[in-house]
A = this chain, B = another copy of it.
Amino acid sequence: MKKSDIVVIGGSAAGLTAAITARRHYPGKKTLLIRREEQVLIPCGIPYIFGTVGAPENNLIPDALLDKNGIELLKADVGAINRQETLLETSQGDVGYERLILATGSLPTRPPIEGIDLDGVFTIQKDVAYLHELREKLETANDVVVIGGGFIGIEFADEINKAGNKNVTVIEIAPHCLSLAYDDEFCVEMEEHVRSRGITIRTSSRVQAIEGVDSVDNVLLADGSKIKADVVILGVGASPNVELATQAGLEIGIQTGAITVDRTMRTSDANIYACGDCAKKISFFGGAPSKLRLASIATSEARIAAANLYGIRRENIGTVGVWSTAVGNLAMGTAGLTETMARDRGYRIVSATVEGPNRHPGKMPGAVKTVLKLVFERNSGTILGGQVMGDATAGEIINALSACIQTRMTAEDIAIFQTGTHPALTASPIAYPLVNAAEMALGEMVVS
């Protein structure tokens, strides 16, 4: 029987990072990664297959990373975990383990919409062959409907629209696209930007049915309107893939449907860890279960799980939630809680928004308007979150903000935060947004 000290199930962001981290921390342990896929896609890069990067093959996680890090690869389906015998039953025979990491990811949600099984209706699967099929369909499609105006929906719509010869419509059930990711004023800016690129957005719109004979013909909304569609893409979220864990009797969280783990990423079996989309997350803010699922969360969890396999050294502080979205030259990002999220969770907040050029003087080439909004807890002054809108630097500004949040800085700390500034790279030191927004918020705060 094949046997490895450490076995990781799953080859995407979480699984690969877990295996690499395991090798770094335990170079003496044999490490095996088992996955089903022939090739592994970069999950967040999937929308770009349909425009910017041109093909699934241009968006792969290279297997060279496995070789380079001394990780053995087994392409197989895992049928069951035999916890008693500490072995896996796979399509390639049994595989013994000493420590197991589950990184089985998530599966796209298939809402119970009439017509969802029609030809031409796609979910977003991390599967090269499936995405090739979607690409082929899109080549001859005139009318494309994307159901779900979250990150993925918006980015898919924009990439497909780049071809220029299609009618692309995004249908969102909420009053605004991206409303789970940004406060309304940011959502509105992105919606306007997306519309200006020729995409139709229909918000507050519920899909009643997908209609057609054999293949899709149109999408019927609850208000009776019909939108012509040759291809429908469902981007309405994903659910933890916990089939194996459930069969093996591991504890599954009721609220999240994900594998229960403690702060060390250990499951209810001391030899089994879980990380990524399949693992239960709790929020950094208050500790309630969190439904956020992102590759960057997955990799952070993977680094905790793998380092802890033979001796606990890392604890998960909870999911902060840091992400960004880019369409054309407009980028926005969030770290921590938006104002809406903070209020919904019961925080009493102070927020401040500043706006200005992201270069100095404003006449420097490349200068664009940057908007930064910070949200603080009113009494302690602790930073709860922030959102930024600007150019590509927004993607790193939220990482600076993430550091402030993870270390529980207060508005007072951020007001005297030492930043580096440069005319060609950042806003002016006199008006650096992070610092200025903190000062503004302090003006409205009674710090205890």
A residues 414-448 in Cβ contact with B at 8 Å = 415-426, 428-430, 432, 434-435, 439-440, 442-443
Name the B residues within 8 Å of A443 (CB-CB).
Answer: 24
Complex contact A421–B364 (CB within 8 A): no
Pick from B21, B320, B335, B420: contact of A296, CB below 8 A. Answer: B420
Complex contact B399–A402 (CB within 8 A): no
Pick from B59, B397, B439: contact of A21, CB below 8 A. Answer: B439
Pick from B53, B365, B425: contact of A394, CB below 8 A. Answer: B425
Pick from B52, B333, B391, B422: contact of A44, CB below 8 A. Answer: B422
Q: A324-B422, A409-B407 are in contact. Are A417 and B402 (CB under 8 A)?
A: yes
Complex contact B418–A361 (CB within 8 A): no
Contact mask A324-337 → B, CB, 8 Å, 1/0? 11100001011100
A427 to chain B, nearest CB (A): 10
Q: A17-B430, A360-B44 are in contact. Are A300 and B417 (CB under 8 A)?
A: yes
Complex contact A53–B425 (CB within 8 A): no
Complex contact A53–B322 (CB within 8 A): no
Is A125 part of the binding interface, using a Cβ–Cβ cutoff of 8 Å? no
Is A396 part of the binding interface, using a Cβ–Cβ cutoff of 8 Å? yes
Name the B residues within 8 Å of A424 (CB-CB).
Answer: 48, 52, 326, 331, 392, 395
Name the B residues within 8 Å of A244 (CB-CB).
Answer: none
User: How far, in whole Å, are A52 and B367 apart by their CA atoms in the complex?
Assistant: 12
Complex contact B423–A42 (CB within 8 A): yes
Is A239 part of the binding interface, using a Cβ–Cβ cutoff of 8 Å? no
Is A60 part of the binding interface, using a Cβ–Cβ cutoff of 8 Å? yes
Pick from B296, B323, B426: contact of A396, CB below 8 A. Answer: B426
A residues adjacent to B (C-beta < 8 A): 13, 16-17, 20-21, 24, 42, 44-45, 48, 52-53, 58-61, 65, 294-300, 303-304, 307, 313-314, 316-317, 319-320, 322-326, 331, 333-335, 360-361, 363-366, 391-400, 402-404, 406-407, 409, 412, 415-426, 428-430, 432, 434-435, 439-440, 442-443
Give 9 A-B pairs besides A42-B361, A326-B424 with Cβ atoms closer than 8 angstroms.
A21-B439, A61-B430, A296-B419, A297-B418, A307-B415, A322-B419, A333-B420, A392-B392, A393-B396
